[in-house]
Amino acid sequence: MSNVWQSIAGFPDFLAYFAFALAILALFVTIYVRATPYREFALIREGNIAAAISLAGALMGFVLPLASAIAHSVSPLDMAAWSAIALLVQVVVYAVAARLIPHFAQAIEAGRAAPAVLLATLSLSVGVLNAACLTY
């Protein structure tokens, strides 16, 4: 029976990191949707697949380095610092994609999937690289 207690001895730390990660994720979503010129959630409620694709890619592109920060951080403050960098990286990815594609925001609002898939792919690709760089 003592093995069971040893196995879950880290449960309070798990809860702390998990709750903190969810708060950081909520903060990311709040900042990201304000950084874009369109309203993702309103568009998604209307059935706009392009808005859903682009936001999903940004979320995954952020969560990958967040997970790496959790796995490699020495403290919640360390995790928060690296998460802030991951957040900034995803906002920059959006800005670059918006510059590469003329009328990007209008294309997302119109529900065109091609630009959304490009943004999602860029977000995921940069997120994977970002996560890999967090293996310090």
pLDDT at position 108 is 96
Would you write out the chain's pLDDT as a tens digit for each of its 136 residues?
567 677 788 889 889 999 999 999 999 999 999 999 999 999 999 999 999 999 999 999 999 999 999 999 888 899 999 999 999 999 999 999 999 888 999 999 999 999 999 999 999 999 999 999 987 6
Domain boundaries, the chain: 2-133
DSSP secondary structure, the chain, as one string: -HHHHHHTTTHHHHHHHHHHHHHHHHHHHHHHHHHSSS-HHHHHHTT-HHHHHHHHHHHHHHHHHHHHHHHH-SSHHHHHHHHHHHHHHHHHHHHHHHHHSTTHHHHHHTT-HHHHHHHHHHHHHHHHHHHHHT--
